[in-house]
Chains A and B, each alone.
Chain A
Amino acid sequence: ETGVTQTPRHLVMGMTNKKSLKCEQHLGHNAMYWYKQSAKKPLELMFVYNFKEQTENNSVPSRFSPECPNSSHLFLHLHTLQPEDSALYLCASSQAASMSDTQYFGPGTRLTVL
């Protein structure tokens, strides 16, 4: 398998549920990112990890908790979400966390919070 993969592709959850999104990159990259893509809004950077260390938290609410156990895997743990958190969550990776490096995106997880 190549590129950046994300699972699940679709997720429906209630506000009291706990779920996790998974991202895996097969490109040998050292940096990984979570983005939120909402309808009618620009893509928003949420978190950046560089060599497994979090280097950016873009004022994301604590109900979103990222985890990066190694350079190939990135998780986004979700708990007590709100309906306005419904969006497409995109994972990306790049060779390093220099933003001039090309970022490769996964297909995203479409999240619906009821």
Chain B
Amino acid sequence: AQSVTQLDSQVPVFEEAPVELRCNYSSSVSVYLFWYVQYPNQGLQLLLKYLSGSTLVESINGFEAEFNKSQTSFHLRKPSVHISDTAEYFCAALQGGSEKLVFGKGTKLTVNP
């Protein structure tokens, strides 16, 4: 069964610093990968997704993630964070042919001034 691991439960950073949120998935077969963001008191919002094609995917607010099949990773990065990026970030994976989206436990990103 597919599983998703987010190694860091909390990541504190200063404003304008770079950040990387790590995500590893368990399967080496065809897989779809997602990053969702949950701002305080809100539902989850899709940040970006990898289905096929270019291994580097970008979001509209400066985040990017790279699919690395050999390392079974889909880490999320941003070169310079803002205080408004403070939220919880969830990595999720869907194995080809399955309908179940499997989520990691989430990483709380706190951006300090």
Query: What is the interface of chain A, defined by CB distance below 8 A to chain B?
Result: 4, 6, 40-45, 48, 55-56, 58, 90, 92, 97-100, 102-108
Between A and B, how many residue pairs show CB distances below 8 Å? 54
Contacting residue for A90 out of B4, B43, B46, B51, CB 8 A: B43
In contact, B43 and A108 (Cβ under 8 angstroms)? yes
B94 at the interface (CB under 8 A from A): yes
Contacting residue for B104 out of A42, A56, A90, A100, CB 8 A: A42
Collect the chain B residues with CB atoms within 8 Å of residue A58's CB: 100
B63 at the interface (CB under 8 A from A): no
Collect the chain B residues with CB atoms within 8 Å of residue A108's CB: 43
Assembled-state Cα–Cα distance A100/B34 (Å): 9
Collect the chain B residues with CB atoms within 8 Å of residue A102's CB: 46, 49
B56 at the interface (CB under 8 A from A): no
Counting contact residues on chain B (CB < 8 A from A), the size range is: 20 to 34
Contacting residue for A107 out of B4, B42, B92, B101, CB 8 A: B42
Describe A's contact surface by its main secondary structure: loop
Collect the chain B residues with CB atoms within 8 Å of residue A99's CB: 32, 94, 98-101
B105 at the interface (CB under 8 A from A): yes
User: Nearest B residue to A3 by beta-carbon distance?
Assistant: B43
Assembled-state Cα–Cα distance A98/B46 (Å): 15
In contact, B44 and A90 (Cβ under 8 angstroms)? yes
B74 at the interface (CB under 8 A from A): no
Give min CB distance, A11 to chain B, whole Å.
15
In contact, A103 and B46 (Cβ under 8 angstroms)? yes
Collect the chain A residues with CB atoms within 8 Å of residue B101's CB: 45, 99, 103
Contacting residue for B32 out of A100, A105, A106, CB 8 A: A100
Q: Given the interface contacts A100-B32, A102-B49, does A107 sit within 8 Å of B99 by beta carbon?
A: no
